[in-house]
Structure 1
């Protein structure tokens, strides 16, 4: 038999655990009171940081925390009341302000967490039973994470904006508007394995009136021959009869100017770099207007940008083949992700370069339509990551505030477009006087060339022989490696081919592109 133990007239089996001493009702009430006090102090620190210290701890610390919390709320309310989305966007492109905001956000998060931990201490955890202690520890950790998360997220946004502004936009001189307009050259770069150097696959100019924000879009064919350079530049002296590269026919084309500039940097001195400077000067001399800045987007980067934005809405008017596997892009209004948007913008299968330019015009309009402040804010981190390595520009960060104003002014206004394609302009035999006149018609409506930049060799053009129709050159895709880029010879073959139907030179983009 098992031994037994006698205690005060009773026999207890030692194999049985000893009974816990019964807790009196009075002790239970005291424990509940202590637990409620701990919960209350923690809740007070969430609603009004410092109030727990003011009631039960260091009153001086409590006062400082409450005053600081009140100041934060007042500032947030004032900003929400008096600051427009435009002002917030301008703040978001100032690196020093972003750094200050990031530091302040981390300091506020840390201070609030410390206040909460101190409120937990004031709740006297050792005086609670084990169950309540565990509850208080878990509640304190959860509350600390919840109150600090918004500040950490805000600091992360500020860090991403700061890194994007500093890495993407150089410090430099702010360009003065010409004839009341700011002109930005937009380039889509195709620098894949099958391409000899970097060549702009799409060339567009966005011009914005600095007073009204009225935007205009000019599209130039990449196969435009014998582009002019502004008089007085080394390139104009080198090519008095128009750009001819190294003499090969494929080097006559406008999109070959980037590669030529990189190979001959002595002709294209400037902060933008020889390649971009060469294209800027070629477009300046051809259109007769000053190119203030350029923005170049790698074509795969464009795909990532569209995905980061959440896609774009496009009205696909005709079926477009996708790759060589029999897939097609169906007709109708569609939400396109980056992969399909890139195919829509670049595909030349069964269409011409000029059809493709028209689609690129629609894509630019759709991108502007989707890039409203709310959508940009929601997808900001993805946009910043996609832009970091895919976008190059010479826009100085000192001018970003002004460009934000122009972007907000331009939103909602008609985007007038000029396409310099046949039958208006024959790329193999361009009439540069007509190009300058059409550009002036678009920008100022008086039918005169802009006198910002004088044209070199405007009176003499060197017509070339029109090439054969452009062959199929699908858009690049990671799953279709063979279709990544077009060969340089494809640029030559596309000259003067695939003329579109005749239409007015000046067109409202919204009248030919539908985004709903």
Structure 2
């Protein structure tokens, strides 16, 4: 028999028996096993990092169960009432916020409150600002220390948060408006500043010089790109515009809201995962939501459902108010304008022009 190692004759091709697949040479099988093993390791490594990043961001979000905190004493959700979101800006001076406040203020208050209404179809939105100096009736709530907090009349709206937290603010807004809040989102000073810095600033245009020693804002008339610190000063400015009251500040807050949403919408976050993570990290670490939004997936789903809303078409309105007859430093909801506004939101209808006029600002 000829030795296989020295055989130089023609080689006969080896065919696999019928019904069986020919095996690749042993060396080639080893190469493919190493490639497969490497791919598995890469997937596992990437999955581990992705899981860690997801858990890290997800763990930042603080959630509040509104159903448990408020109970059944809530307005009925109408089938055609769209979506209603309460956005709170907290002026807490604790933690990372300590260096961002001004003045000798303890505790925390809802420095900014916006009811954002998204009609059915989600193609536009309406933002209603509630002045923080508005006198309201606070419903019975559970205090931050866990004790029962009785109902009280003629309390400042922004004091509700400091005494009983965001769930009681939601309950207060629902009872004063008759509009059920589907969700709420709260962000504090540090989170707001970090978000603006993460997206590279926000551009605003002012038609007059603004010099406010209290907030620290110093802007000349014209267009400016504001960083996080300047943006915080901008939305907190009250003494450098109008009559120096909280009502003048609301105009700047609404202007900035539109500019911020427009900036976020136009940025290519999918094309820059690093920037997307940085924004998500800054946002979630200072974010409190209802339990229905208290995860990255829930927030992402809600955000995608709002994708058709163009910030440039958002209508901004201040709750119609008049100065209180007993205390001229406070305001109360003006009737019938406020009632007309809330009714339009409840029924998902066009807001009448009369409901957009506030006697305290001369219309």
Tell me if TM exceeds 0.5: yes
1:199 is aligned to 2:109: yes
Q: Give the Å deviation of 1:425.
A: 9.7
Q: 1:435 aligns with which of 338, 347, 363?
A: 338
Q: Is the 8 A contact 1:208 1:406 kept in 2?
A: no
1:404 is aligned to 2:297: no
Q: Which residue of 2 aligns with 1:380?
A: 276
Which secondary structure does the structure 1 equivalent of 2:240 belong to?
coil
Q: Is the 8 A contact 1:214 1:413 kept in 2?
A: no
TM-score (norm 1): 0.50
Q: Is the 8 A contact 1:303 1:338 kept in 2?
A: yes
Is the alpha carbon distance of 1:209 and 1:243 closer, same or farther for their aligned partners in structure 2, counting shifts above 3 Å?
same
Distance 1:173 1:207 in 2: 18
Which secondary structure does the structure 2 equivalent of 1:349 belong to?
coil
The equivalences for 1:406-485 within 5 A come to: 406-411=305-310, 414-422=313-321, 428-431=331-334, 434-441=337-344, 444-445=348-349
Q: Is the 8 A contact 2:186 2:289 kept in 1?
A: yes
Which secondary structure does the structure 1 equivalent of 2:166 belong to?
helix
Q: Which residue of 2 aligns with 1:366?
A: 259
TM-score (norm 2): 0.68
Is the alpha carbon distance of 1:161 and 1:315 closer, same or farther for their aligned partners in structure 2, counting shifts above 3 Å?
farther
Q: Give the Å deviation of 1:438.
A: 1.1
Greater length-normalized contact order (CA 8 Å, ≥ 6 residues apart) = 2
Is the alpha carbon distance of 1:67 and 1:155 closer, same or farther for their aligned partners in structure 2, counting shifts above 3 Å?
closer
The equivalences for 1:475-514 within 5 A come to: 499-500=360-361, 502=363
Q: 1:107 aligns with which of 24, 29, 42?
A: 42
1:255 is aligned to 2:190: no
Q: Give the Å deviation of 1:165.
A: 2.4
Is the alpha carbon distance of 1:371 and 1:225 closer, same or farther for their aligned partners in structure 2, counting shifts above 3 Å?
same
Q: Is the 8 A contact 2:86 2:113 kept in 1?
A: yes
**Superposed CA offset, 1:35-90 (max 9, x none):** xxxxxxxxxxxxxxxxxxx99x9311433566899xx9xxxxxxxxxxxxxxxxxx
Q: Is the 8 A contact 2:138 2:160 kept in 1?
A: no
Q: 2:129 aligns with which of 197, 207, 219?
A: 219
Distance 1:184 1:295 in 2: 7
Distance 1:258 1:327 in 2: 26
Q: Give the Å deviation of 1:289.
A: 0.3
- Which protein has the bigger strand share? 2
Q: Is the 8 A contact 2:117 2:345 kept in 1?
A: no
Distance 1:431 1:325 in 2: 29
Task: Structure 1: state its 5+ residue gaps.
Answer: 1-53, 73-103, 111-150, 245-251, 262-274, 449-497, 503-516
Distance 1:326 1:343 in 2: 6
**Superposed CA offset, 1:207-234 (max 9, x none):** 22353343221100001102364xxx66
Q: Give the Å deviation of 1:238.
A: 4.1
Q: Which residue of 2 aligns with 1:208?
A: 118
Is the alpha carbon distance of 1:277 and 1:59 closer, same or farther for their aligned partners in structure 2, counting shifts above 3 Å?
same
1:302 is aligned to 2:165: no
Distance 1:215 1:327 in 2: 29
Q: Which residue of 1 aligns with 2:6?
A: none
Q: Give the Å deviation of 1:168.
A: 0.6
Which secondary structure does the structure 2 equivalent of 1:164 belong to?
helix
Q: Is the 8 A contact 1:212 1:409 kept in 2?
A: yes
Q: Which residue of 2 aligns with 1:120?
A: none
1:330 is aligned to 2:231: no
Aligned-pair Cα RMSD in Å: 4.0
Distance 2:308 2:108 in 1: 34
Q: Is the 8 A contact 2:322 2:334 kept in 1?
A: no
Q: 1:187 aligns with which of 74, 88, 91?
A: 88
Distance 2:77 2:299 in 1: 14
1:58 is aligned to 2:27: yes
Q: Give the Å deviation of 1:364.
A: 1.2
Distance 2:204 2:222 in 1: 8
Is the alpha carbon distance of 1:433 and 1:238 closer, same or farther for their aligned partners in structure 2, counting shifts above 3 Å?
farther
Is the alpha carbon distance of 1:325 and 1:204 closer, same or farther for their aligned partners in structure 2, counting shifts above 3 Å?
closer
Q: Give the Å deviation of 1:184.
A: 1.5
1:339 is aligned to 2:229: yes
Q: Give the Å deviation of 1:340.
A: 1.1
Distance 1:226 1:301 in 2: 28
**Superposed CA offset, 1:416-471 (max 9, x none):** 222114569995332465323213335622679xxxxxxxxxxxxxxxxxxxxxxx
Is the alpha carbon distance of 1:259 and 1:327 closer, same or farther for their aligned partners in structure 2, counting shifts above 3 Å?
closer
Which structure has the larger Rg?
1
Q: Is the 8 A contact 2:321 2:331 kept in 1?
A: no
